[in-house]
Structure 1
Amino acid sequence: MKLTHQWLSILEGCMLVALGLHLLNSVGLLISGTAGIGMILLKLTSLTFGQLFFVLNIPFYILAWRALGKGFALRTFAAVSLLSLLSEIFRHYIQIDIHPIASAILGGMLVGFGLIILFRHNASLGGLNILAIYLERRFNIHASKTTLVADLAVLAAALLVLDAWSLLYSLLAFLLLSSVVGRYHRPPKWAQTSETKHA
């Protein structure tokens, strides 16, 4: 029963993130972390976001497996695969006409709440999320601080591909995501489990 609850929660978290990213992608805005990098590359390559997101996360699985435990790594791989699939489904079947400000607000908050659900069930969406959880477990650095630094790095890279207004709206999404994670995320019990110590 507990296992079923965990995987249903991971599915729900991925759906929230996928919807948030779809809202942002629909008006050409960015979000932080590996997803943000994928959105930038989306403007420079012929690959879809789902394909880019999956490929970008491959190197981070090594860190997850070695430092955070194979259970966490497997759940993260499943979550990344699920998000990539959902992104492809949403891209084909959900058409959205939305103002960039509304997209930034809703998209940033949805991604933030989706990440919290995943963090609380010992999973992530790979990439910099893995780094955030690793630093939180090992050095007690709150995940919101790591995501904020990642936000700034992605925002700097976004200067190459976004106009001023899109950059401003993306910054709003970044701030809302970081605010949601900072206010609602609490390091769960598994942060001090033997799986962590094993790392």
Structure 2
Amino acid sequence: MNITHRWLSIVEGCLLVALGLHILNAAGLLISGTAGIGMILGKFTDLSFGQLFFILNMPFYILAWRALGKSFAWRTFVSISLLSGLSELMRFYIHLTIDPILSGILGGMLVGFGLIILFRHNASLGGLNILAVYLERRFGFHAGKTTLIADLGVLVAAITVLDLSHLLYSLLAFLLLSSVVGRYHRPPKWAQVPKANEASS
């Protein structure tokens, strides 16, 4: 694959995710994955979201480097940096008011499509996304299922910081994100589980 094409796709994936997260944040909805965990922990500590997100991702960087390869770990690091920068730009320059139902629909779908692009180009946004790709590559467990299970866990934890209506709207975003990944994501060759005769050779 052309290197320019790969990195352009990664930038586009990060842009979609950043926009989706910005839309969710505008309505006060929960961010999925490791970012959601960071947002919840931010309610109980003096650390910023950026600091928490970096700390939470550290063990997953090690997992990516050892189990998924240096290229995957490097692209993931770049993707996280891009997402952080794009999120900051949107926070300063894009101000919007949006109905929470529409926010959940658009935000969940945009994040889902952005993750698909990153998965297909051997990258992720760290944390639970790395775990999802690792489980798919190592055991053939679909990334969409891992994402759904992880996000439901985050949603349960969010009971401590969100009211019922925002929990329900966040659940809508989670379900749409998982649905998009589950229907459109196809494991690329680098993520496929080797066949029995290939593994023994």
User: Please, what TM-score do these two structures have when normalized by structure 1?
Assistant: 0.92
Which has the higher Rg, Structure 1 or Structure 2? Answer: 2
Amino acid at match of 1:113: F
SS in 1 for 2:160: coil
* Correspondence for 1:15: 15
Comparing 183-192 and 33-42, the one that deviates more: 33-42
Amino acid at match of 2:5: H
1: CA distance, partners of 2:104 / 2:117: 20
Conservation of the 8 A alpha-carbon contact between 1:109 and 1:173 = yes
- Are 1:105 and 2:105 an aligned pair? yes
SS in 1 for 2:172: helix
Amino acid at match of 1:189: K
Amino acid at match of 1:13: G
Alignment of 1:112-123 (within 5 A): 112-123=112-123
Amino acid at match of 2:180: V
Pair 181,81 (structure 1): closer, same or farther in 2 beyond 3 Å: same
Q: Deviations over 1:121-171 (max 9, x none)?
A: 000000000000000001000001101110111011000000000000000
Conservation of the 8 A alpha-carbon contact between 1:53 and 1:84 = no
Q: CA deviation at 1:55?
A: 3.4
* Correspondence for 1:89: 89
Q: Deviations over 1:82-103 (max 9, x none)?
A: 1111111111111011011111
2: CA distance, partners of 1:53 / 1:103: 23
Q: CA deviation at 1:190?
A: 1.7
SS in 2 for 1:59: helix
- Are 1:55 and 2:71 an aligned pair? no
Q: Please list every run of 5 or more consecutive structure 1 residues that lacks an aligned counterpart in the other structure.
A: none
Comparing 43-52 and 55-64, the one that deviates more: 43-52
Q: CA deviation at 1:8?
A: 0.4
2: CA distance, partners of 1:193 / 1:97: 44
Q: CA deviation at 1:56?
A: 2.3
1: CA distance, partners of 2:60 / 2:23: 26
- Are 1:163 and 2:170 an aligned pair? no
Conservation of the 8 A alpha-carbon contact between 2:140 and 2:192 = no
Amino acid at match of 1:76: T
Alignment of 1:177-196 (within 5 A): 177-192=177-192
SS in 2 for 1:58: helix
* Correspondence for 2:149: 149
- Are 1:31 and 2:61 an aligned pair? no
Amino acid at match of 1:170: S
- Are 1:64 and 2:59 an aligned pair? no
2: CA distance, partners of 1:142 / 1:132: 8
Pair 75,59 (structure 1): closer, same or farther in 2 beyond 3 Å: same
